[in-house]
Amino acid sequence: MNDPLSMNDEDVDAYKFFGMGAKNYGEQYQANDLAKLYPEHVFRLKIFLNLLSAIQPDRMLDIGCGCGLPLLAFLREGYNADGFDYSNEMIEQTKQLLLSNDLDPARVSRNNMEKIEGISPGFYDCIVGLGSLYYSRNFSATISQISDLLPKGGDFIFSLRNELFSLFSQNSYTSDFFLKKLIPSTSLTPGLKTRLASFLDDKFSLSTATKKFLTIDEQKIFSLYHNPLTVEKDVLAPAGFALKGIYYYHYHALPPEFEHSDTEEFRRLSCEFENPTDWRGMFMSSSFVVHAVKTE
């Protein structure tokens, strides 16, 4: 299983961080102003809705449902959907959202994706996780629990952060990827390893351009990255899943540093790139959606 590219004592749990901004989190699903926000959540939700349209599940569960806007979208499409989250603030937001749309607030409850309780195996034939799984501190156990809940032939649709994007990002993540994934750095002599690290830092250091906002990474939220080329072998097969498809989203038309200096143009061009099945997404998108089916 892949380790995070950066993890230290400062990393915080995602549910705590996002819970603090629960009231405004729904803005992530609005796509009206590229100068303020890139609508990657909108592109991701479209991928999920397209897959669900083909699957037509009988009963589905949204793990880490957050502010509830995706859950609302699923219910509006006619799916028999429930959701849970670990953040009390997010649960409250979702309940209010469902109530304001004349829907049953009991469809959302509190649960922990790393220790799921009170759900009978086979009760849901489709489980989705739009932006939650890569925040699990015990990722393999989380995937195994989800597998145990699904019947044979059940669908599992979830998003992951793209490790291969590091090759395009041209920043410290690129340097990390070379050192940790490509170059046999553990076999190098200390002197050569030091010179190599300095070489990579010179090639992939960030400019001094002033950043207009903090990314999730810079806020030290614990998260994992996965390689789309190995996700079937590393993630799915050990838990009894077979890969049905991979779909890319959150494209970057330029290395991400340009989003700080040329925000609106960067985002406009990136929106034009958004295509879930374009081969360039393997390198130019920071995230991807996995569709898997339970085989055992």
179-202 pLDDT per residue, tens: 889 998 888 899 998 999 889 888
pLDDT at 206: 57
| Residue that wins the pLDDT comparison between 209 and 160 | 160
Residue 29: band (very low, low, confident or very high) from pLDDT cuts 50, 70, 90: low
Arithmetic mean of pLDDT, 18-32: 55
Per-residue pLDDT, averaged over 205-233, amounts to 67
Residue 81's nearest CA partner among 52, 117, 110, 101 is 52
Q: What is the mean pLDDT of residues 203-222?
A: 53
Amino acid 19: pLDDT: 47
Minimal CA–CA distance to 161: which of 274, 80, 43, 250?
250
Distance CA 100, CA 90 (A): 15
| Distance separating alpha carbons of residues 57 and 169, to the nearest angstrom | 37
Task: Answer whether residue 294 shows pLDDT above 90.
Answer: yes
Cα distances (Å, whole numbers) of residue 181 to 158, 209, 283:
24, 28, 15
* Mean pLDDT, rounded, of the chain: 87
pLDDT of residue 219: 52
Write out pLDDT tens, residues 64-105.
999 999 999 999 999 999 999 999 999 999 999 999 999 999
- Whether residue 140 is predicted with pLDDT greater than 80 in this model: the reply is yes
Map out the domains of the chain with their CATH numbers: 14-163+216-294 (3.40.50.150)
Question: Tokens standing for 226?
Answer: 């996965």
% the chain with pLDDT above 90: 67
Residue 205 has pLDDT above 90, yes or no: no
pLDDT value at 24 more than 60: no
Q: b/e map of 76-100 (b: 16 or more CB within 10 Å)?
A: eeebebbbbbbbebbbbbbbebbee
% of the chain with per-residue pLDDT over 70: 83
List the structure tokens of 107: 């469809």
Comparing CA positions, the residue from 120, 126, 136 lying closest to residue 156 is 126
**Does the pLDDT at position 251 exceed 60?**
yes
User: Which pLDDT does position 184 carry in this prediction?
Assistant: 86
pLDDT of residue 267: 93
Per-residue confidence band for 37, with pLDDT thresholds at 50, 70 and 90: confident
212 with 38: CB under 8 angstroms? no
Provide the whole-model pTM: 0.85
pLDDT at 226 over 90: yes
> 62 φ, ψ to 5°?
-100, 110
CA distance 92 to 109: 9
Inter-residue contact 72 to 26 (CB < 8 Å): no
Identify the residue whose tokens are 């309780």. 117
**pLDDT score for 5:** 36
Please give the pLDDT value at position 202: 85
